[in-house]
């Protein structure tokens, strides 16, 4: 009797490669194939969640992230994806869930950051400052946390503290649009400081 060998590792590799290249259709097809053969494959469940998230299919992505977290409870990518979706959903419901999450997981920097960013998008900067400060204290080596706190301080008219944290975000490796925004704002704040 010949033993049939799973093609899942090769399919997972191909799916991951497609995802990295932005070919969401091909990635989704490969992840589906793996999940059809191995419904409890944590990597495929997570990959499918990321694909659905990038496709903007929020409800399906949420379910896929939750399934991924059942299979792989400590997975950072699934947790962060869930938080990102939550922050994009209905603001009142998202705020409520994020507050519950930060109470249950007080050392979760990503949850505090998501809550602070949600409040900031609503213009509630004094309230956003607490969670963003907590996130930065919990993850002091995170460029995103330093940048988000800098934005909150900037919005609250605390330019010296904001400058320090914009600079810190750059030192911690902020890149892309975050680095450009931090550099631009630092330049603007320096000009305002000139007599």
CB 128 within 8 A of CB 119: yes
In sign, the C-alpha dihedral spanning 82, 84, 86, 89 is: negative
Give the residue extent of every domain in the chain. Answer: 1-89, 91-195
At the second CATH level, the architecture of 1-89 is: Alpha Horseshoe (1.25)
**For every one of its 195 residues, what pLDDT tens digit does the chain have, with 9 covering 90 and above?**
333 334 568 889 999 988 888 899 999 999 999 999 999 999 999 999 999 998 989 889 999 999 999 999 878 788 888 878 877 777 888 888 889 889 988 998 888 998 999 999 999 999 999 999 999 999 999 999 999 999 999 999 999 999 999 999 999 998 888 899 999 999 999 988 766
CB 112 within 8 A of CB 79: no
Each residue of 130-165: b (16+ CB within 10 Å) or e? ebbbbbbebbeebbbbbbbbbbbbbeeeebeebbbb
Q: pLDDT at position 1, please?
A: 30
Q: pLDDT at position 195, please?
A: 62
Q: What is the number of residues in the chain? A: 195
CATH code of 91-195, in short, is 1.25.40.10
d(CA 70, CA 136): 28
Give the HSE-up count for residue 63: Cα atoms under 13 Å, Cβ half-sphere: 4
- Measured in whole angstroms, the distance separating CA 186 from the mean position of its chain's CA atoms is 25
Supply the pTM of this predicted model.
0.70
* Same fold for the pair 1-89 and 91-195: yes
């Amino acid at each position: 009797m010949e033993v049939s060998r799973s093609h899942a590792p090769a399919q997972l590799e191909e799916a991951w490669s497609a995802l990295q290249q932005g070919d969401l259709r091909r990635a989704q097809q490969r992840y589906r194939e793996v999940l059809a053969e191995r419904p409890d494959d944590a990597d495929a469940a997570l990959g499918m969640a990321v694909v659905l998230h990038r496709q903007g299919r929020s409800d399906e992505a949420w379910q896929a992230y939750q399934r991924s977290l059942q299979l792989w409870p400590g997975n950072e990518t699934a947790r962060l994806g869930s938080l990102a979706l939550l922050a994009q959903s209905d603001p009142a419901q998202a705020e409520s869930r994020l507050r519950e999450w930060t109470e249950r997981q007080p050392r979760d920097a990503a949850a505090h950051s998501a809550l602070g960013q949600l409040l900031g998008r609503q213009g509630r900067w004094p309230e956003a400052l607490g969670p963003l400060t907590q996130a930065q204290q919990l993850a002091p080596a995170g460029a995103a946390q330093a940048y988000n706190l800098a934005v909150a301080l900037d919005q609250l008219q605390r330019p010296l503290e904001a400058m320090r944290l914009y600079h810190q975000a750059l030192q911690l490796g902020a890149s892309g649009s975050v680095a450009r925004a931090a550099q631009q704002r630092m330049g603007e704040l320096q000009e305002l400081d000139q007599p």
